[in-house]
Structure 1
Amino acid sequence: MIGVLALQGDTREHLHAVADLDAIGRPVRRADELDDLDGLIIPGGESTTISKLAVEFGLLEPLRKRIAGGLPVYGSCAGMIMLASSILDGRADQVPFGGIDMTVRRNAFGRQVDSFEGTVDISGIDGGAFHAVFIRAPWVEEVGDAVEVLGRVKDGPAAGRIVAVRQEHLLATSFHPELTGDLRVHRYFVEMVREAGQTTEG
């Protein structure tokens, strides 16, 4: 059972990707809906709005607890920001869920008009470079020792910038794989969830 946080953002596209991989997905809006999840996706959208609504819906602390307890979580774009331990250029009242020891710069690639598409090689994902869609996207300024850098922008003025990371049970990308029809990132996450379940059962 993989939940998709449905406070704001492109929830439907992630649910479709999960279903296409023969996993069960469902939207999550309340704290009690976290209880029986095997994994969670935090979608792209507006990170400040997601932060505000998480507080209003009583989800902030329950989510932090599940993340700290080992729940596999994947965050795309705004979801990456919400999983960061530190946010640059965020609002003063913006509070992340945390979990990944990284500093993320919000809207690093520019505003909506500066959105673009590019190629990213992602470690652990076969099939060649990933066609990535960046929409008001963040990038990772720095990571802690426990964080594995999975992908960087290949070309253009942002070449070399970190855009995909993993720390144990947590995965984050600054781009939107749910908008491309390429299921490889979601498949990678679903396998993370299944492996975590096998470890728990073992």
Structure 2
Amino acid sequence: MKIGVLALQGAVAEHIRSLEAAGAEAVAIKWPQQLEDVQGLVIPGGESTTIGKLMRKYDFIKAIQQFSEQGKPIFGTCAGLIVLATQIEGNQGPEEPHLALMDMKVRRNAFGRQRESFEADLSVKGIHEPIRAVFIRAPLIDQVGSHVDVICETNGEMVTARQGHLLACSFHPELTDDIRLHQYFVDMVRESMQQQG
């Protein structure tokens, strides 16, 4: 099993470390053709507008949409969550969606600039003990479609969701030593490989 980490921006090395600790082979994805060699993809944090521009510049939009159409799992963290969403609310009103794969409306920098960073212990559906979550200028999920399962909330706010083979969270699971959310994603990739034979 090989999982790619989109290497346009963000904590690529940390995601690779977490995925490998969870038992997968992990590789940095710098070109769309590399997607043919992996069974899952992580889209890390960073700045969603910048990631979107770079994805367009290097022809990743259609390539990742086709990757998703094959049922291959994708995990977006922080800005990666924004990139996956069908609707984006920013500080200057609505933005054009990037990949538009997950049926959810998200809000950029939802926790405000002052409370830019905080940590919390969160309960995630399907993971037994609470996980440690690091929020850095985090987005929030405002609304989800009927096929989206919200698997984690903090203070009544939706911060992790799953839609079939798609997983997205508002925080940075790669910035702690807790690999269980990466393990959850590795298990999704394993199941997907079994289904595809």
Deviations 1:160-189 (CA, angstroms, capped at 9, x unpaired): 000000000000110111101100000000
| 1:111 Cα deviation after fit | 2.3
Looking at structure 2, the residues matched to 200 and 78 of structure 1 have their Cα atoms a distance apart, in angstroms, of 29
With over 3 angstroms needed to count, the CA separation of the structure-2 counterparts of 1:112 and 1:187, relative to structure 1, is farther
Letter in 1 for 2:52: S
Q: 1:175 aligns with which of 171, 178, 187?
A: 171
Contact 1:51 1:82 in 2 (8 A): yes
Contact 1:108 1:138 in 2 (8 A): yes
Q: 2:157 aligns with which of 154, 157, 161?
A: 161
Q: Secondary structure at the match of 1:171?
A: strand
Q: List structure 1 segments (4+ residues) > 3 angstroms apart after TM superposition.
A: 90-95
Range that drifts further, 106-115 or 89-98: 89-98
Looking at structure 1, the residues matched to 137 and 124 of structure 2 have their Cα atoms a distance apart, in angstroms, of 20
Q: Secondary structure at the match of 1:122?
A: coil
Match of 1:79 in 2: 80
Contact 2:88 2:95 in 1 (8 A): no
Matched, 1:26 2:40: no
Contact 2:89 2:95 in 1 (8 A): no
TM-score norm. by structure 1 comes to 0.92
Identify the structure with the greater strand proportion: 2
Looking at structure 1, the residues matched to 114 and 76 of structure 2 have their Cα atoms a distance apart, in angstroms, of 19
Looking at structure 2, the residues matched to 40 and 100 of structure 1 have their Cα atoms a distance apart, in angstroms, of 15
Unaligned runs of 5+ in 1: 154-158
Unaligned runs of 5+ in 2: none
Looking at structure 2, the residues matched to 11 and 164 of structure 1 have their Cα atoms a distance apart, in angstroms, of 20
Letter in 1 for 2:81: M
Letter in 2 for 1:110: G
Identity fraction in percent: 46
Match of 2:39 in 1: 38
| 1:35 Cα deviation after fit | 1.0
